[in-house]
């Protein structure tokens, strides 16, 4: 049996569960006898509590994975892959109007190379976006206020509230993680594409 140890730069349940779900799907791509062991660890992202741009989201995901690799190296722990996941906002101007989207990003590294993946986007109501971007309220607190609930971040997340639970926070991180792992589990295709481009 081939065991892949995957370390996640967060101990939050939706993030770790998302990587576990993704790993079940892509494990056979590494070989029919491959099983994945996923473990979450708390590390800092180095970005604001609610990243407010695609650049900051990507930076946070990468920095989580890199901080995790350093932490495990110091602790003598072993992992084949280091995963950083980050959720936040990206604002764009379209047809003269500012639109703000919730996105989930993942960065996966094997210690030598790394790749990003994104979940897609869901548009925020302007009042919710302003609460976060203009008033500086953390998205987790703002979505709790908006939905009249507590602890949404650790359940369906803003994704679930906005999509009426058709897409959960965990779903969004699962898609981002699969996308970021693709260059590793579909390495032959990525390598031939790179060779063809030379």
Whole-number pLDDT of residue 147: 86
- Tell whether the model's pLDDT for residue 92 goes beyond 70: yes
Whole-number pLDDT of residue 150: 82
> For 121-126, what is the mean pLDDT?
96
Whole-number pLDDT of residue 197: 67
Level-2 CATH architecture, domain 2-197 = Alpha-Beta Complex (3.90)
Q: Which tens digits make up the pLDDT trace of 34-70?
A: 999 999 999 999 999 899 999 999 999 999 999 999 9
- Tell whether the model's pLDDT for residue 198 goes beyond 70: no
Task: Give pTM, 2 decimals.
Answer: 0.93
pLDDT mean across residues, the chain: 93
Angstrom distances, CA of residue 184 to CA of 66, 116, 164, 177: 17, 11, 33, 12
Domain boundaries, the chain: 2-197
Whole-number pLDDT of residue 166: 95
């Amino acid at each position: 049996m081939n065991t892949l140890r995957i370390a996640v730069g967060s101990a939050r349940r939706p993030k770790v569960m998302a990587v576990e779900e993704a790993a079940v799907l892509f494990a056979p791509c590494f070989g029919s006898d491959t099983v994945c062991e996923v473990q979450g660890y708390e590390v800092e992202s180095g970005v604001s509590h609610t990243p407010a741009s695609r650049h900051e989201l990507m930076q946070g995901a990468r920095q989580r994975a890199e901080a995790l690799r350093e932490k495990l190296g110091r602790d003598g722990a072993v992992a084949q892959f280091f995963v950083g996941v980050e959720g936040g906002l990206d604002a764009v101007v379209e047809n003269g109007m500012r639109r703000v989207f919730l996105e989930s990003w993942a960065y996966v590294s094997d210690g030598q190379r790394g790749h990003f993946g994104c979940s897609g986007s869901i548009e925020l109501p302007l009042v919710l976006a302003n609460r976060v971007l203009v008033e500086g309220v953390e998205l987790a607190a703002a979505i709790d206020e908006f939905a009249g609930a507590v602890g949404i971040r650790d359940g369906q997340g803003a994704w679930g509230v906005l999509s009426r639970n058709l897409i959960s926070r965990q779903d969004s991180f699962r898609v981002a993680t699969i996308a970021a792992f693709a260059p590793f589990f579909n390495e032959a295709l990525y390598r031939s594409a790179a060779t063809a481009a030379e």
